[in-house]
Amino acid sequence: MKKRIILGIIVIALISSIGTIVGLCVALSFDSKTAGNLTRLIGAMRFIESQYVQEVDEDKLIDGAISGMVRSLGDPHSIYLEPKLYSQLKAETSSSFGGIGVYMGFKDNRVYVLGVIPESPGEKVGLLPGDSILAVDSVPIEEIEPGEVALKIRGEVGTEVKLLIHREGEEDKTYSITRDIIKVQTVVGKMLDEREGYIRISNFSENTGKEFKSKLNELEQQGMKGFILDLRQNPGGVITSCVEVAQEIVPAGTIVSVIRRDGEKEVYTSNLQQVKFPIVVLIDQNSASASELLSGALQDTKAALIVGQKSYGKGSVQTVIPMFQDDGLKLTIAKYYTPLGRNIDGTGIAPDVEVELETPLPNSREIGTNNFEDAQLQTAEELLAKQLDSGKILFDDNG
């Protein structure tokens, strides 16, 4: 008798599901394969709701189904954002947010610290670029979606987060870090001598374009004839802000092309008729995404020399799509290409002049002092001086 009852429930659930799906498929003009897959999905949900040993929350089932779909893409940059994570992500590109002040990247199934904001809680406890995060609040990274790691590290100001950190040559160590308001000034700069300027962009947020233009004008008024653009440890950010920077220094023409899978292309261009300054760009293995876009545009148009190490290699574009219950999707929707048609996803930007850096990158306050050895910056200064002396960018006859 029990078996008959259970069988009857299953049949009723399946009939109900099929009826629902047939009506939906007719309304949306779905083909038979899509209809079949929807039957499987809704049938499984109905069976779980009616037969699971405990009462289930339908919203959680749907959340899990959507999250599973996104995970099946195998893309660490695409994630399902439950309401709490979605709310946190919306604050990520603003100029002020609660966190510990580090930028992170994902490579080879690991999460790395790409950069540390000066005076931030992360810097104060001693986190360094290149550190690998093994766990957040005792939860191993393997159990957290890559795109959720940064959002889980953020939180209410004054609360604590514990990070288990692996650093080459040292024992793994847990850092207890108190979250604070992170006020981000993304552009800093100074004169290195009477004619050479230095500008460092830490990441591309909503205000970076304005900050860069302001700093460029300030240094020009101080007599700057050429400058070093430091994009080391820059993890990227808002593509439109990157384009605003590029429009100040990339010659007229294409800056970047964003191409979707159907071939639809969005081209960002510069109208700059005359390049005013010789430029040397610094990149390293932690320069990613929008910073690679900018350095690639400058390299392809021969508007700058690129010095340092091969960049990170993130050439994909994500968008955040609002859903219907204060949740959302962060989804990779396109790839970007440099003016010469290069996509650097997984390969990175190779510098024109490769220079290794033996010591950790100094913070912006130390640039121009004698407190460190920065072979990359020293090489950039020498190359910039030669350009200023010769009046041209130092490419050879073969480019």
Q: Of 256, 259, 290, 255, give the one whose Cα is nearest residue 270.
A: 255
Q: Which residues of 11-34 are buried (b: 16+ CB within 10 A; e: fewer)?
A: eebeeebeeebeeebeeeebeeee
Residues 119, 122, 128: CA angle, nearest 5 degrees:
105
Neighbours of 113 (CB within 10 A): 23
314 in active site: yes
Catalytic residue among 78, 120, 318, 364: 318
Catalytic residue among 88, 202, 285, 289: 289
Catalytic residue among 314, 364, 376, 387: 314
Are the CB atoms for 155 and 141 separated by under 8 Å?
no
Run of H or E including 295: helix 290-300
Q: 3-state class of 392 per DSSP?
A: coil
Encoded amino acid at 303, one letter: A
Please give the backbone phi and psi of residue 338, each rounded to the nearest 5 degrees, phi first.
-75, 170
Question: What is the chain's length?
Answer: 399
DSSP 8-state assignment for residue 185 = -
Residues 81, 83, 88: CA angle, nearest 5 degrees:
75
309 in active site: no
Quote the CA–CA distance of 201 and 191 in Å, as a whole number: 15
Quote the CA–CA distance of 367 and 377 in Å, as a whole number: 9
Intra-chain end-to-end CA distance of the chain, in Å? 83
390 in active site: no
Residues identified as active-site: 289, 314, 318
